[in-house]
Amino acid sequence: MQMPAAVRLLWLLWLALMWPRAAASGSSEEHLRELLTTETLLIDALRDYIDALDKQLVVIKSETAAIEQIHQLVGNRVEQHMGNPLNVLTILKRFQSVWPLLEQQANATHNLANNLPDYELDLPLPSEEDYETALLNLLRLQSVYDLKPATLSLGMVHGLKLGSAMTWSDCLEMARNSDRNGDYAVAKYWLETALGKLPAENNATNSVGEQERGKVQILEASLNMDYRAGEFFNALTTAKELLLLRPASQNVKKAKAKIERAINGSPAKFQPNSKSRAKLTKSVEQLIVDELCRSATQQPITGSRLTECRQDISNLRMLRLEQLSEDPLIMLYHDVLSSQQTDQLISMLDDVPRLQESKRAAFEPLKFTNLAQKRMRGIHNQLGMAGAEPELWQARRHSHEHVTQPEEPASTSGHVARALLNLQEARLGGAIVFPQLELSVCVPRGSLLYWNVRSVSEFSATSRSDYRSRQLVCPVLLGAQLSAWTELS
């Protein structure tokens, strides 16, 4: 016998109030038997309630322990953990689904959660836009680095376990967003991954019907995607499978009839969607950039044409140089700064506190203090570039949320070269690529990348920039990258 908790409590209260009246109105054996029968029913109902309560507590304890375990693993490595887009998506997903469900289950357990803060009013919560942005960021990284949904959903990137595993509902959301962005093939891969993550029917830890409910949602999404993409035979197969699960569904029956009319070629009954669902094509340059970014994720640097050593008289040490390109000249200076020196420069950023206040601030140029600028002027003497007049150094922070476009100096500027000093490496991604040269460089921490932005014979204020020196920063897969940039005249 199943009875809502509130109804059972009211019934017990009514019984307590009416018991004296019932005893006074009749004391026959028959009436006592009726009362015993009623009591037996109440005991059974309370046992059912206790069993249901125990199941709810098991779910609440399990979910809470899982989240607590994640927090224990993160510890003080908050920035490193949040630098992973999979972890960001998982956290936002928990605020959308797990925590509201836990609050609902806790409130249902005999009002034991009256002292909990109101989920909607008392707590700062992520918006729907935050969740959608996290999904799009992960889809962008998947596209650039050609990550497979099956491994990405397990938190695996290039064979490394880097993030939290995704649930079937996470994969379903990824599929829907891929479809909205016109990538039908990727969306179908995510749907297949979502199906593989559904709980087993004999898994007692999952609520009854979750496996079937999840399968219905995934098949409905697949049906809509196939129909909009013109894959009518696939859509018809999916509709028949849905009818086996939901034989009384009128919507599925109507969809099946509509698909059959489309297959039979009835133009009056079928009008294709005016919005093209074909995969959005990328430019040739973007395809080259993606390939360069993928090739630079595992190797520390790109192989050079020429390696040489140069003496740094001011510090009495040898510098190792790599010439990556002769025309335009691109040089990589290794170990310009030590780890201690890079940490000191990072601490001399004026705008570090603003990184925690605004997402936008993380992508804007950050200012170094005057003391940091003074220290960094010595780098030019150390590299043998004392004759070049540098601009002020600016720091830039790149994470998985940052999308960069190819940069090139203005045609009227007097800048002849550009330099990048890496202060903090990303764990994966963040390479500097030159699309026109098909060159990618992963700059190690404390090293400097130098490249000319004008042809050797055109070092003048009115000369045109060298299009081959256009460069951009690959998306960061894990962690964050902090670098210092300057122009040289």
CA separation for the pair 397, 79 (Å, rounded):
13
Q: Quick one: pLDDT band at residue 27, thresholds 50, 70, 90? A: very low
CA separation for the pair 197, 190 (Å, rounded):
11
Q: Which of 13-27, 384-398, 418-432, 462-476 has the lowest mean pLDDT?
A: 13-27
Q: Which pLDDT value is given to residue 353?
A: 44
Residue 467 has pLDDT above 90, yes or no: no
Q: pLDDT (tens digit, 9 = 90+) per residue, 319-328? A: 788 888 888 8
Average pLDDT of 285-295?
A: 84
Average pLDDT of 45-52?
A: 69
Collapsing DSSP to helix, strand or coil, 174 comes out as: helix
CA separation for the pair 421, 390 (Å, rounded):
13
Residue 190 has pLDDT above 90, yes or no: yes
- Residues with Cβ within 8 Å of 80's Cβ and at least 6 positions away in sequence, in order, are 427, 479
CA separation for the pair 450, 417 (Å, rounded):
7
Collapsing DSSP to helix, strand or coil, 156 comes out as: strand
Collapsing DSSP to helix, strand or coil, 236 comes out as: helix
Q: Among candidates 236, 134, 226, which has minimal Cα distance to 184? A: 226
Q: Which pLDDT value is given to residue 188?
A: 92
Q: Which pLDDT value is given to residue 288?
A: 86
Q: Which of 282-286, 408-412, 473-477 has the lowest mean pLDDT?
A: 408-412
User: Environment class of residue 259 by beta-carbon count within 10 Å: exposed (0-12), middle (13-18) or buried (19+)?
Assistant: buried
Q: Characterize 263-279 residue by residue with b for buried, 16 or more Cβ atoms within 10 angstroms of its Cβ, and e for exposed.
A: eeeeeeebeeeeeebee
Q: Quick one: pLDDT band at residue 310, thresholds 50, 70, 90? A: low
Q: Which segment, 74-78, 97-101, 126-130, 177-181, is predicted with the most confidence on average?
A: 177-181
Q: Which pLDDT value is given to residue 223?
A: 93
Which position has the token pair 């491994």?
151
- The residue among 481 and 353 whose pLDDT is bigger is 481
Q: Which of 119-133, 436-450, 472-486 has the lowest mean pLDDT?
A: 119-133
Average pLDDT of 22-41?
A: 56
Residue 36 has pLDDT above 50, yes or no: yes
Residue 308 has pLDDT above 60, yes or no: yes
Q: Which pLDDT value is given to residue 175?
A: 92
pTM over 0.85: no
Average pLDDT of 284-288?
A: 83
Average pLDDT of 230-253?
A: 90
CA separation for the pair 174, 195 (Å, rounded):
13
CA separation for the pair 17, 281 (Å, rounded):
74
Q: 480: which 2 tokens? A: 């964050």
Chain centroid offset of residue 171 CA:
12
Q: Which of 2-6, 135-139, 460-464 has the lowest mean pLDDT?
A: 2-6
What spatial distance separates the first Cα and last Cα of the chain, rounded to whole Å?
84
Residue 349 has pLDDT above 80, yes or no: yes
Contact 466, 436 (CB under 8 A): no
Task: Give the orientation angle of helix 128-145 with respect to helix 284-295, to 10 degrees.
Answer: 80
- The residue among 406 and 54 whose pLDDT is bigger is 54
Residue 14 has pLDDT above 50, yes or no: no
Q: Quick one: pLDDT band at residue 12, thresholds 50, 70, 90? A: very low
Q: Among candidates 301, 270, 273, which has minimal Cα distance to 430? A: 301
Residue 11 has pLDDT above 50, yes or no: no
Residue 218 has pLDDT above 90, yes or no: yes
Q: Which of 8-12, 134-138, 221-225 has the lowest mean pLDDT?
A: 8-12
Q: Output the average pLDDT for the chain.
A: 75
Q: Which segment, 29-33, 184-188, 307-311, 453-457, is predicted with the most confidence on average?
A: 184-188
Strands in 326-406 per DSSP E: 330-333, 366-367, 394-398
User: Environment class of residue 230 by beta-carbon count within 10 Å: exposed (0-12), middle (13-18) or buried (19+)?
Assistant: middle
